[in-house]
């Protein structure tokens, strides 16, 4: 097993220690596994909390900071954080205006965030929850009942984070998050399987001459396997899957996301084909983000997420953000 680690049991803790050293603007509790803004809680501001299994970096810890999340709870690799982590995060970021949970639709995440919300409300904190279930590839998977939460999570956290930063009340921040979640659709493609530190080998077998269409961010199987295709062919299949599920009636935000092992050279080339496919299908792209943002360890492959926006959502997208993983306008 060739990994830059000290041992499988130390991966998450070591990563958090390194994150703390690299980003003094964050408060990183390595032992209790909570990452918060250094200035939290911000009085009178709605707090945004998210989290999930590690291995998807920069999601979620890399999106903590002004204009996005107030706190993130990292679990073990591909494993949900626990309610105690989430409750500690709520306590750390509650500025008196309530807290919004952004939850990807995975069974463990949903159950544990629900439990944490009940515990927080017992302590007098108002909590709202928004579920992200944007993956159009499959209805149920190894980890979910219903659709998986994937790249749309970035749009939800950014747009709701901007609304909270501007001083919107909890019901409005939650409404923005729900609009973003409902307007987002994602589809992923694997060219190679991820390797978890605990297993030390690929999570599934994918022959060199094949690719998997519709994969999840934990290496879950997709809807079908095909012989290796060109970038243009993959873009056409991906865009068609997205538009078949939801045909935009307005401009979209486009995320061309790497799964962890795909270099930017390939991602930018793939983005050119995605933009071509969208233009041919008369979809207007307002903004595009390209890079590794919602990853699956060292999986080779990509995903595309489209989020239909109106003038308000576009303004919130353009609003300043300052996090380790996303930064502009400040």
Q: Please give the positions annotated as active site.
A: 56, 218
* Helical H segments across 6-106, by residue range: 11-22, 83-93
Cα separations in angstroms, 136 against 22, 53, 245, 311: 36, 21, 7, 25
d(CA 11, CA 136): 31
Give the DSSP H/E element, type plus range, for residue 143. Answer: none
- Strand segments, DSSP code E, in the chain are 26-29, 34-37, 47-54, 71-77, 99-104, 127-132, 184-192, 210-213, 224-227, 252-258, 285-291, 300-308, 321-322, 327-328
Which runs of consecutive H residues, i.e. helices, occur in 123-247? 152-165, 170-182, 231-245
CA Rg value for the chain:
19
């Amino acid at each position: 097993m060739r990994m830059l680690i000290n041992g499988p049991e130390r991966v998450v803790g070591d990563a958090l220690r390194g994150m703390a050293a690299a980003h003094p603007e964050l408060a990183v509790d390595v032992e209790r596994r909570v990452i918060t803004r250094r200035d939290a809680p911000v009085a009178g501001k709605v707090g945004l909390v998210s989290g999930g299994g590690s291995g998807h970096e920069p999601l979620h810890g890399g999106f903590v900071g002004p204009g996005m999340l107030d706190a993130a709870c990292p679990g073990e690799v591909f494993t949900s954080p626990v309610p105690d982590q989430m409750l500690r995060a709520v306590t750390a970021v509650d500025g008196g205006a309530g807290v919004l949970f952004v939850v990807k639709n995975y069974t463990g995440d949903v159950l544990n965030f629900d439990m944490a919300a009940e515990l927080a409300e017992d302590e007098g904190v108002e909590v709202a929850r928004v579920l992200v279930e944007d993956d159009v590839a499959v209805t149920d998977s190894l980890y979910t009942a219903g659709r998986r939460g994937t790249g749309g999570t970035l749009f939800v956290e950014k747009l709701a984070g901007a609304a909270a930063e501007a001083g919107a009340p909890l019901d409005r921040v939650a409404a923005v998050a729900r609009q973003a979640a409902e307007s987002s659709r994602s589809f992923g493609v694997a060219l190679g399987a991820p390797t978890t530190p605990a297993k030390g080998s690929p999570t599934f077998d994918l022959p060199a001459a094949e690719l998997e269409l519709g994969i999840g961010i934990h290496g879950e199987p997709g809807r079908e396997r095909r012989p290796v295709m060109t970038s243009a062919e993959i873009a056409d299949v991906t865009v068609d899957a997205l538009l078949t599920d939801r045909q935009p009636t307005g401009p979209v935000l486009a995320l061309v996301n790497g799964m962890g092992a795909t270099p930017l050279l390939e991602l930018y080339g793939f983005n050119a084909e995605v933009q071509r496919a969208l233009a041919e299908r008369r979809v207007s792209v307002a903004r595009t983000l390209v890079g590794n943002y919602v990853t699956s360890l060292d999986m080779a492959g990509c995903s595309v997420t489209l989020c239909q926006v109106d003038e308000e959502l576009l303004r919130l997208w353009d609003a300043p953000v300052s996090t380790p993983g996303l930064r502009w306008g400040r």
